[in-house]
Amino acid sequence: MEFFNVFGDLAGGFATALQPFNIFMLFVGVMLGLVVGVLPGLGGTSAVAILLPITVIIARSSPTSAVILLAGVYWGALFGGVVTSILFNIPGEPWSVVLLFDGFPLAKRKGKPGVALASSFFASFVGAFLATVMFTFFARALADFALSFGPPELFAVFIMSFATLIGLGAESPVKAVMMISFGLLLAAVGFDGITGQPRLTFGQIGILSGIGFVPVTIGLFGIGEILASAEESGIGFMERLSAKVGFDDVIETLGELRKRIWLVISTGIIGFWFGILPGHGATAGSFLGYGLARQWSKNKEGFGKGEISGIMAPQAAADAAAVGSLVPMIALGVPGSPTSAVIMAGLFIWGLTPGPLLFTEHHDFVWGLIASIYLGHLLTFIICLLAVPLLASIMRIPYAILTPFIVLISVIGAYSLNNSMLDVFITIVFGLIGYWLRKMKYPLAPLVVAVVLGDSTERTLRQSLIASGGNPGILVGSPIAATLMALAIILLLLPLIRTIRSRGRHTDAGIDKDTVATAID
């Protein structure tokens, strides 16, 4: 019965979302989101926050139009964030950091920027569509289940992410562990929410909020890459750039998607689930998606060198997680991601209380929003696909001409994060560190993963231990936590076992070393 009601509700939602003014709001939101997504630094979260005062005016006539505008920005930023990651090795948004691993190599080293972009757009769309269907039918049940994910369960999930990603520098575990430690050390800097004390800040109030991973990754990848490229002048990639124009890339990508459809669907589902867990969202989901894609792939050596699965899986997870992060916000009043927290603030200001009562008291609002998620993604997807040939053609510009431009947007992007010169300084320092690490053949991926996930991992571990009075048994205390932890351990040991077994059969160290060398590019 309930099932059929959903179709009626959804039809009503579409009737609301398709009103001309709402379509207009959606279009404005999506376009703004695409713009802020493409620009590094100023992200979806801050764009939504900047728009809040304007939505107060709109919400007076219709809160549904206001939420459609804000959600549109979120979707636009999700799609737009990948562009600079893929083309310039600079993350446009936190959740597109992981696209640096394979997106840029595919665009630059393999000369297929169009395929790289289209892969991410297709995956975004499939992931988001899947997530929206799940949102439509199971929002409240899933949100309730997510409540049972406390610190021990979340810690197990983070350990799983680490486990899947640790193998990224598999051929030199020592270097990978060193990089993870360095990343954890960086993540420790700043205000410690558990003790309420500053940590490793040396009295500097400016770094109380910690060393942001966006300036760190802009430096490590964007600036670091430029320095490394400057050295290898003469190895132009122009000649390797495929001669395709028009939409051939899009059609090629469609074929690639068909081969990986199950991967995209499963990482989409995992991402959606990640988004629902309160307080996490797209970024962590994208990393787990990447790690799993690599674990499951037959072509592990291709990862880090422009493997299409390494673009599609994290992007499907990230977009599904973003949609998922609205679920607990709407159903429970607990936001699933920073951006959905801002949208929730909007609801309060417009006079709505998010939570279970929203479904009954503001029926049209909820279903109008759900319908607009379908429409918003469709709109964003079409705009992005149409833009692929244009965006891809940017890569035809000689790298020497692009370089100053990339440095410029890196610096502006870092500055615009908090309007602070400190972030610019961090970007430049990490650019030098990134260059040096490349020379020394240290893998960058484990470092980035640790910087991004270190803080949450540490917090959930300490919260668990406080709750149990120091007894580590709590980490496997619930059936969910125990299962997840067991999975994490299996995922961690698998590559090790595989390596030992393959070493036993034949020594292929020469090729392996080569893999590491290229994987860090």
Partner 1 sequence: MRNPVGRSISLAIAGLLVATACGGAGGGATTAPTASGGGAAALVAPTKPVEFVISTAPGGGSDIYARKMQAVIDTLKLSPQPVTPVNKDGGSGAVAFQYVYDHKGDASYIMITLNSFFTTLIVQKLPFKGTDFTPIANLALDPFYLWVNEDSPWKTAQDFITAAKADTLVVAGTGSKQEDEALFRRIQTIAGTKPFSYVPQSGGGTVAAALAGHQANVVATVNNPSEGKSLYGGTPRKLRPLCTFEPASPATGPFAGLATCTSQGLAISDYYIMRAIMAAPGLSAGQQAFWVDVFKKVSDSADWKQFVSDNNLNPDFRSGADFQKMVNDYQKLHEDIAKQFNWVQ
Where do contacts with partner 1 occur on this chain (CB under 8 A)?
Answer: 20-21, 24, 28, 32, 45-46, 48-50, 52-54, 56-58, 61, 146-153, 190-198, 205-206, 208-210, 278-279, 328, 332-335, 338, 340-345, 348-349, 351, 353-357, 419, 459, 463-464, 466-469, 474
Q: How far is the CB of 473 from partner 1 (least distance, A)?
A: 12
Measured from the CB atom, is 32 or 257 closer to partner 1? 32
Q: Closer to partner 1 at the Cβ: 173 or 356?
A: 356
Cβ-based burial of 493 (10 A; exposed 0-12, middle 13-18, buried ≥19): exposed
Sign, Cα dihedral of 412, 414, 418, 423: negative
Shortest CB 99 distance to partner 1, Å: 25
Residue where the block lists tokens 């890196």: 410
Residues paired with residue 199 on neighbouring β-strands, in sequence order? 190
Q: Could you give the angle at which helices 113-147 and 99-108 cross, rounded to 10 degrees?
A: 170
Q: Which residue type, as a one-letter code, is found at position 85?
A: S
Q: Tokens representing 195? A: 């003790």
3-state DSSP of 146-162: HHCCCHHHHHHHHHHHH
Q: Minimum distance from CB of 305 to partner 1 (Å)?
A: 37
3-state SS, residue 190: strand
Residues 6+ apart with CB under 8 A from 26: 17, 68, 69, 72, 372, 375, 376, 379
Q: Which is nearer to partner 1, 12 or 279 (CB)?
A: 279
Spatial separation of the C-alpha atoms in residues 180 and 169, rounded to whole Å: 11
- As beta bridge partners, residue 192 has 197
Within 10 angstroms of residue 293's Cβ, the number of other Cβ atoms is 27
Closest approach, Cβ 150 to partner 1, in A, equals: 3
Q: How far is the CB of 429 from partner 1 (least distance, A)?
A: 20
Q: How far is the CB of 205 from partner 1 (least distance, A)?
A: 4
Whether the CB-CB separation of 89 and 222 falls below 8 Å is answered with yes
Give the type of residue at 88.
F
Closer to partner 1 by Cβ: residue 51 or 180 = 51
Which CB atom, from 50 or from 487, has the smaller least distance to partner 1?
Answer: 50
Q: Which is nearer to partner 1, 47 or 391 (CB)?
A: 47
Q: Which residues contact 124 (CB under 8 A, 6 or more apart)?
A: 78, 79, 82, 315, 316, 318, 319, 377, 381
Of the pair 163, 474, the CB lying nearest partner 1 is at 474
Angle between helices 445-467 and 151-166 (to 10 degrees): 160
Kindly tell me which of 12 and 150 has the beta carbon lying closer to partner 1: 150
User: Would you say 94 or 302 has its CB closer to partner 1?
Assistant: 94
Find where tokens 């669907």 sit: 265
Q: How far is the CB of 83 from partner 1 (least distance, A)?
A: 20
State the minimum distance, in angstroms, from the CB of residue 428 to partner 1. Answer: 20
Smallest distance, partner 1 to C-beta of residue 272, A:
18
Q: How far is the CB of 197 from partner 1 (least distance, A)?
A: 7
Name, in order, each residue with C-beta under 8 angstroms of 69's C-beta and a sequence gap of 6 or more.
Answer: 25, 26, 28, 29, 51, 55, 58
Q: Residue 140 belongs to what H/E stretch?
A: helix 113-147
**Residue among 223 and 481 whose Cβ is closer to partner 1:** 481
